[in-house]
Structure 1
Amino acid sequence: MNKDIILKAENISKQYRLGQVGTGTLSHDLNRWWHQVRGKENPYLKIGDTNDRSTKGESDYVWALQDINFEVERGEVLGIIGKNGAGKSTLLKILSKVTAPTTGSIKCRGRIASLLEVGTGFNGEMTGRENIFLNGAILGMTKKEIASKIDEIIEFSGCERYIDTPVKRYSSGMTVRLAFAVAAFLEPEILVIDEVLAVGDAEFQKKAIGKMQDISRKGGRTVLFVSHDLSAISTLATRTIVLGNGSILAIEETNKAISIYSSMQNRESAFVQKEAVDKPSITKVEILTSEGGTLQANGKSLKVNFEIIMPFDNYENLSFSFQVFDYLNKAVLYAYIFDKDSPICRKKGINKFCFEFDALRLYKGNYYLRIHVANSKTREKFQEIDCCNFEVEMIGQKEPEWGWQNNVCQYIDEGNWYIS
């Protein structure tokens, strides 16, 4: 390993047998042993389906991870993103040595502290204070080292009033607060964090992200961070791994990696629904960009056509709205129309209308629409869909001298509704 490399994963793969606890049947174990004594490879490593939870598959074996290779430098914050079931948590469990890889190896320098699940490593019968000392001992800290940090840990966690109460009486949020404080302040060389911070409130999430930035930039320690909050990943991580079906799809600078991940989402450039419905529903959404296809020029007009099918006549109180989301899954624009303000979709059958941005001014990048149909009076939600990916670029324009601010919503010229 190079001097700057603190963690290295080499050819990591993890295989599971579906529907079984353990390695499988006695015949499989004997077959493995027979191959081993003859110096041959485990025969069940040659079979196994890709880790795609949406398909049935043909094998009893599945590769949760396959051929994972990467290096992490000291002081780096590495993000890991991917859909549910992509293998993120499995990878972190292997890195934390909670489970062993089927093939491959992990090389690291220094202690690893991990936050993989709420309350992992905590004894519910022991108090918060006692659990701090227990977790510190597990990390290899001396009692004196832990005692020197305990006041900072308690203060950061915000659990001072309950610190001498058994942890089994803590809420999940309090448990996460204390667990994160222990892991962060007891100074492991590598901090591994799964989605657990999502349990905390907004104030604590902000504190936790600030603390992770401090320990990486000032403390020179390494952080591996898994989250579905792309905004948090963008703020914290310098590089990001994109996982899909148990394999690495990309390892890139964070904003580029997020853009790759966002483009993988199953959102079509147009939406069409033909099934019979018994409530107001969207049947078609079509986006008309300035450049055709999915390409939109900054500052030019953008038109979106909608069709809604109404199963009955003279329906009142319909509300229709859509949001434009950026690649971080943050809403940046919002447009709405209510029947009580401007009668819409009163007739049975297909109703058509559109919205047009006179001049769409958005930061360069990838966007999509989220569309809502509801009853404005009762708040009953009829439908919500994500669709219509499009990309904004500077076309035929000079880059502004003042530059763009990433992840900041730009002002737009007002648009208009047109009902036919």
Structure 2
Amino acid sequence: MITVENLSKKYIIGHQRQESYSSLRDVIASGAKRILRNLITPSGKGSGDPLHEEFWALKDVSFEIQEGDRVGIIGRNGAGKSTLLKVLSRITEPTAGWVKINGRVASLLEVGTGFHPELTGRENIYLNGAILGMSKVEIRKKFDEIVAFAEVERFLDTPVKRYSSGMYVRLAFAVAAHLEPEILIIDEVLAVGDAQFQKKCMGKMEEAGKDGRTILFVSHNLRAVQALCNKAICLNNGQLVRQGNTQYVVNEYLTGGGGEREVLERVWPATLESSGNANVRILRAQIVPDLDFFEGLITVQTPLRIEFFYRLCVPVDTYSFSMHFMTMSGECVFITGSSHQMVQPGVYKSTGYIPGNFLNTGLYTMKLFFAKDVTNLLYAAGELLVFEVHDIERESGWLGEYPGAVRPKLKWDFEPYTMSG
């Protein structure tokens, strides 16, 4: 059983000024100025520190989860989902409120957590089992199942820092699921795996649920949430806005009960609250009608321009990104992307175009994946933007709803034809 009472988590965000230093003397002088400024203006007095602000990732969240519940946690990017899982996994301490958990917890959060990068796959399996309180004999009984599920037999004695992101996630999920914790916490990290592996994971989680284990599952794939979970929680801006039966919570979310229906632009400062990690930081994303004059409503005829600005923090030999356009129920409409060679750290802008008369009516969202050397994930952002495509008035022709996710207006030739003979 999990009990959460008035849970809040606050971060202090620093807004750094863009300063350039030409020498060590400049660095020392800048640090001295900051110290002197703090001495002159003590904390809590005056007009406050303009370079710091409070950001509440969670605010007064309360709920109970019973043993054996399979709970989906949904909400837009920045809603507080990942922060909640980090608090429940004891990775992050809450600022206020409390959490009571009965049972062993295994967590699979963002790629890179849970394993020691210098240890081999074999060593990490035993390390994670020991952390869960299992004996070597207990771990050994599950060892072959874990390796077979993860499909990493050839790389068992290789340090996991050399694994691709897909291999890493496969092994991490296999360890978390097979070592039989009472509570299994899974973040959107499963999106890294291929479709076949995701299907295996869903089957394993369903099996764990039938065995009476408690599952907390964060995903933007609402179909997966509906298939797996008997309950759901919806977060928005750090607050719990809906909880209960999965179908009810998902329906409310899709009809706007979990926040704004459309998010056509998002801007993040280059701070803790921005979307990203140590590899990539998304600074801004927007979807803009690609027209000289726009009347304010995106229709099936509107050409669209997608722009996103981001900071690449590491050098990459082969850098690529892909954008997945999804319906709000989790169906992938299409995937597009680009790749580039020998990319250095810096701020970049990428722009893509969707022609008019291509998308069908409905609400759409986007997932964005950054990778190096094709297979190694740098960062994945779910539900980056949300936009709605409206129908147009039609005086003739087909007047009902068009089936399918797209309705392209293709060029067709029509001409008389005479059969020979």
Superposed pair shares fold, TM > 0.5 = yes
Matches of 2:127 and 2:187, distance apart in 1: 21
Corresponding residue of 2:223: 231
Q: 1:110 to 1:307 in 2, by over 3 A?
A: closer
Residue 229 of structure 1: CA displacement?
A: 1.7
Matches of 1:278 and 1:258, distance apart in 2: 29
Matched residues, percent identical? 47
Question: Secondary structure of 1:18's match?
Answer: strand
Matches of 1:130 and 1:209, distance apart in 2: 26
Residue 305 of structure 1: CA displacement?
A: 7.2
Q: 1:26 to 1:99 in 2, by over 3 A?
A: farther
Q: How does 1:57-68 map to 2 (within 5 A)?
A: 60-68=53-61
Question: 1:243 touches 1:250 (CA, 8 Å); kept in 2?
Answer: yes
Residue 121 of structure 1: CA displacement?
A: 2.4
Corresponding residue of 1:16: 11
Q: How does 1:71-150 map to 2 (within 5 A)?
A: 71-150=64-143
Question: 2:8 touches 2:57 (CA, 8 Å); kept in 1?
Answer: yes
Residue 368 of structure 1: CA displacement?
A: 3.2
Corresponding residue of 1:330: 331
Q: Structure 2 length as normaliser, TM-score?
A: 0.59
Matches of 2:154 and 2:357, distance apart in 1: 56
Q: How does 1:299-318 map to 2 (within 5 A)?
A: 306=301
Residue 306 of structure 1: CA displacement?
A: 4.0
RMSD of equivalent CA atoms: 4.3
Question: 2:70 touches 2:216 (CA, 8 Å); kept in 1?
Answer: yes
Letter in 1 for 2:388: C
Corresponding residue of 2:262: 267
Q: 1:252 to 1:130 in 2, by over 3 A?
A: same
Find out whether 1:204 has 2:205 as its counterpart. Answer: no
Matches of 2:329 and 2:300, distance apart in 1: 25
Question: 2:233 touches 2:243 (CA, 8 Å); kept in 1?
Answer: yes
Question: Secondary structure of 1:241's match?
Answer: strand
Deviations 1:183-241 (A, max 9, x none): 10001110111111111111111100110010011x11001011112222121111111
Letter in 2 for 1:234: Q
Q: 1:307 to 1:285 in 2, by over 3 A?
A: farther
1:69 to 62, 67, 92: 62
Question: 2:362 touches 2:388 (CA, 8 Å); kept in 1?
Answer: no
Question: 1:369 touches 1:389 (CA, 8 Å); kept in 2?
Answer: no
Range moving further from structure 2, 115-124 or 126-135: 115-124
Question: 1:64 touches 1:87 (CA, 8 Å); kept in 2?
Answer: yes
Q: 1:281 to 1:170 in 2, by over 3 A?
A: farther
Q: 1:167 to 1:282 in 2, by over 3 A?
A: farther
Matches of 1:211 and 1:64, distance apart in 2: 31
Question: Secondary structure of 2:5's match?
Answer: strand
Deviations 1:226-268 (A, max 9, x none): 1112222121111111111110010132222122222244339
Matches of 1:416 and 1:98, distance apart in 2: 47
Deviations 1:322-363 (A, max 9, x none): xx9754143689xxxxxxxxxxxxxxxxxxx999x9xxxxxx
Letter in 2 for 1:78: V
Matches of 1:410 and 1:140, distance apart in 2: 56
Question: Secondary structure of 2:14's match?
Answer: coil
Corresponding residue of 1:386: 387
Question: Secondary structure of 1:16's match?
Answer: strand
Corresponding residue of 1:175: 168
Question: 1:325 touches 1:369 (CA, 8 Å); kept in 2?
Answer: yes
Matches of 2:201 and 2:153, distance apart in 1: 17
Question: Secondary structure of 1:125's match?
Answer: coil
Find out whether 1:152 has 2:145 as its counterpart. Answer: yes
Letter in 2 for 1:69: S
Corresponding residue of 2:377: none
Q: 1:210 to 1:389 in 2, by over 3 A?
A: farther
Question: 2:14 touches 2:51 (CA, 8 Å); kept in 1?
Answer: no
Find out whether 1:189 has 2:182 as its counterpart. Answer: yes
Residue 63 of structure 1: CA displacement?
A: 1.3
Question: 1:173 touches 1:200 (CA, 8 Å); kept in 2?
Answer: yes
Question: 1:114 touches 1:191 (CA, 8 Å); kept in 2?
Answer: yes
Residue 165 of structure 1: CA displacement?
A: 1.5
Letter in 1 for 2:14: G
Q: Structure 1 length as normaliser, TM-score?
A: 0.59
Dislocated runs of 4+, deviation >3 Å: 24-27, 264-268, 277-287, 304-309, 324-327, 366-370, 409-412
Question: Secondary structure of 1:98's match?
Answer: coil
Matches of 2:331 and 2:292, distance apart in 1: 24
Deviations 1:142-173 (A, max 9, x none): 11110110000000111111112221211111
Q: 1:354 to 1:151 in 2, by over 3 A?
A: closer
Matches of 1:78 and 1:205, distance apart in 2: 18
List gaps (5 residues or longer) in structure 2. 17-34, 264-287, 305-324, 335-355, 366-384, 392-400, 412-421
Corresponding residue of 1:34: none
Matches of 2:289 and 2:12, distance apart in 1: 43
- Greater Rg by CA: 1
Question: What number of residue pairs does the alignment pair up?
Answer: 290
Range moving further from structure 2, 115-124 or 146-155: 115-124
Q: 1:416 to 1:113 in 2, by over 3 A?
A: closer
Q: 1:307 to 1:232 in 2, by over 3 A?
A: closer
Deviations 1:288-325 (A, max 9, x none): xxxxxxxxxxxxxxxx774679xxxxxxxxxxxxxx97
Q: 1:26 to 1:95 in 2, by over 3 A?
A: farther
Question: 2:182 touches 2:214 (CA, 8 Å); kept in 1?
Answer: yes
List gaps (5 residues or longer) in structure 1. 1-5, 32-42, 49-56, 269-276, 288-303, 310-323, 334-352, 358-365, 371-383, 391-408
Residue 83 of structure 1: CA displacement?
A: 1.2
